[in-house]
Amino acid sequence: MSLSAILKHIVVHVDDSSTGQDRLRFAASLAKRFDAFLTGIGEPEKPALEEQFGWTVEAHRLAGDWVDSVGAMAPFIAHRAHTADLVVLGQNDPNITVGIDGPEDVILACGRPVLVVPHGKPIEGVGDNVVVAWNNSREAALAVGGALALITKPNPVAIVSVNPHPDSDWYVGGDLVRQFARHGLPARAETITQDGRSPASLVRARAVSGRADLIVMGAYGHTRLREMVLGGMTRDMLAETRVPVLMAH
């Protein structure tokens, strides 16, 4: 079975901001790439959103459907995403209210890989230059599995571990290199020594310096309150990244 067969249903949150329209076009381009069905979810009683979704699907010659949300947006998307292969959400923009307080509310509840698109700039594509934040956790493994279909071959995947334990993460990173090779994808394991900056800051810096177009990592935490108290890497990454991030929990 080809990897492209994995992504056959993509769900995208659509809102009426300029960033929301960029996100819709990006999700449509992904659906076109994988010949996938595209479901758009947006607020009810906003016919312009549904019309824009319809035009975009038609322009890309896709199959798709529109769903009005019922109740709170985040749990509604999480519920509908249970039978999807990928969810596309926008990074939280403090200057715009779009019905979701933060993408982590969906990531921690939907059980599916979620691709978070930064606000402020259109994203043309992902998968040519990928950084994996690896710590040998269940969540990181789920994220890698969800990202495999998106990764292409132009550049080796950078598997980055921050302050890895020499008896665990470093050697497991080597195992992940071999696993990527089994999928025909070149990869290399790297370590980063923490220098006072947060792990998320170090991974973001590595992604920017390497001109990455995608960061892959696990999402950690159980509730918004716990994430805030712990200063979790999940919230740190989602708040500040300028590179698309694929997360799974």
Q: Where are the domains of the chain?
A: 3-117, 130-217
- pLDDT band for 6, please (50, 70, 90 cuts): confident
- CATH level 3 topology of 3-117: Rossmann fold (3.40.50)
Give yes or no for residue 230 having a pLDDT over 90. no
Give yes or no for residue 95 having a pLDDT over 80. no
Residues 48-92 have pLDDT tens digits of: 999 999 999 999 999 999 999 999 999 999 999 999 999 999 988
Cα-Cα-Cα-Cα dihedral sign, residues 22, 80, 104, 210: negative
Side chain identity at residue 187, one-letter code: A
In sequence order, the β-bridge partners of residue 192 are 162
First to last CA, the chain: 25
Q: What's the CATH number of domain 130-217, 3.30.70.20, 3.40.190.10, 2.60.34.30, 3.40.50.620?
A: 3.40.50.620
Give yes or no for residue 226 having a pLDDT over 50. no
DSSP state of 44: T
DSSP state of 47: H
